[in-house]
Amino acid sequence: MKKTKILLSGLFILLSSLYANAQAKTGADYFTGKWHVLIPETPLGDLNRFYIFEKTASGLSGTVQDGISGAEIAKFTKVELSGDQVTAYYSANGYDVNLVFTKKDEDHITGSLMGTYNATGERVKVGQK
């Protein structure tokens, strides 16, 4: 009987620790990192971009890079975070633009550039370019 209690206690602790490690990221923790984003059918054609979010003491900051060359296009001028949604503001090609991203699942986002053009993105994993 005593062995059964010890075994069940050990199993409970193991399952609890696995559950704690499997918690989904939210907010700034979720968006932090590099995202490969496609924005099709804009006046400039299909845009292939990297959006890189960095966690700061006050929230998030980051940059936009070309998705092919990796050249920096712009730094975010402002980032607003609200639950499972982030809005990045920056200037590109002489325009002030914003892109809203919404969490789709652990590694995918959907969004909208200027509320007009749809965007889809995927988290770039460590070791990927």
For the chain, what percent of residues have pLDDT higher than 90?
Answer: 65
Q: Which domains does the chain have, with CATH numbers?
A: 27-123 (2.40.128.20)
The pLDDT tens digits for 81-116 are 998 999 999 999 889 999 999 999 999 999 999 999
For the chain, what percent of residues have pLDDT higher than 70?
Answer: 78
- Distance of alpha carbon 73 from the chain centroid: 18
What is the reported pTM?
Answer: 0.78
* Confidence band for 38, pLDDT divided at 50, 70 and 90: very high
* Confidence band for 16, pLDDT divided at 50, 70 and 90: low
- Cβ atoms within 10 Å of 99's Cβ, excluding its own: 23
Q: What is the pLDDT of residue 10?
A: 55
